[in-house]
C-alpha cells in the first residue's frame, strides 16, 4: 500500500503553540511548552482555525510536550461548544501517565461537546480523525 505524503499548507505560530493545516484535511495543533495550557492559548488556536478555515470545521490532531497539561479552567472551557466551533473532533496524543489521567478525567467529567479521544499513537489518532472528514 502506497502512503500519500502529507504537506503543511499553512502554519500559525504562537509563543506556546502552533497550528498547522495539513493537505489531508486535518488541523494539527502542537503545544510547544511544558507549562499548563490556559484559556488564552485555546483562544489563540481557535482564532487561527477561524482565520484559515473561514467557518469550516476541522478534525484536530493535538500533540504536546511530555508533561504539558491543561489547567482545570482550560479543561472546563475546552469542553464547551463555544470554545471551538471550528473543531469537528479532537484527538489528543499523550506521552505520560499524568496526561492519561487528566485526559480520562476530561472525557469522563468535562464531557467535551465534540467527539474526543485520547491516543498514545499519532498514527491511530490520525486514522480515527479521518473518519470525520
CATH number for 33: 3.30.750
Backbone phi, psi, residue 86, to 5° = -105, 10
Phi, psi dihedral angles at 122 (to 5 degrees) = -65, -40
For 57-94, what is each residue's pLDDT tens digit?
A: 999 999 999 999 999 999 999 999 999 999 999 999 99
The string of pLDDT tens digits covering residues 30-56 is: 999 888 999 999 999 999 999 999 999
pLDDT the model gives residue 34: 87
Does the pLDDT value for residue 130 go beyond 70? yes
Residue 2 has pLDDT above 70, yes or no: no
Helices (H), 7-86: 39-53, 72-78
Q: What is the pTM of this model?
A: 0.94
Query: Is residue 18 in a domain?
Result: yes
Mean residue pLDDT across the chain: 95
Tell me whether residue 2 is in a domain: no
**Residue 3 pLDDT grade (very low, low, confident, very high; cuts 50, 70, 90):** low
The answer to whether residue 3 sits within a structural domain is no
Buried residues in 111-121 as b, exposed as e (16+ CB within 10 A): ebbbebebbee
Domain that holds residue 61: 8-132
**How many domains are there within the chain?**
1
**Within a domain: residue 103?**
yes
Nine cell digits for residue 28: 494539527
Model confidence at 1: pLDDT above 90: no
* CB-CB contact of 40 with 72 (8 Å): no
83 occurs within a structural domain? yes
Amino acid at each position: 500500500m502506497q502512503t500519500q505524503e502529507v504537506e503543511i499548507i499553512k502554519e500559525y505560530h504562537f509563543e506556546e503553540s502552533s497550528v498547522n493545516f495539513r493537505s489531508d484535511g486535518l488541523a494539527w495543533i502542537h503545544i510547544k511548552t511544558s507549562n499548563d495550557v490556559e484559556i488564552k492559548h485555546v483562544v489563540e488556536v481557535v482564532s487561527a482555525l477561524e482565520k484559515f478555515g473561514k467557518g469550516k470545521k476541522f478534525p484536530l490532531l493535538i500533540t504536546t510536550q511530555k508533561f504539558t497539561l491543561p489547567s482545570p479552567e482550560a479543561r472546563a472551557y475546552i469542553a464547551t461548544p463555544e470554545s471551538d466551533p471550528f473543531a469537528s473532533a479532537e484527538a489528543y496524543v499523550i506521552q505520560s501517565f499524568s496526561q492519561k489521567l487528566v485526559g480520562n478525567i476530561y472525557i469522563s467529567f468535562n464531557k467535551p461537546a465534540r467527539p474526543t479521544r485520547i491516543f498514545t499513537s499519532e498514527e491511530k489518532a490520525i486514522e480515527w480523525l479521518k473518519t470525520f472528514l
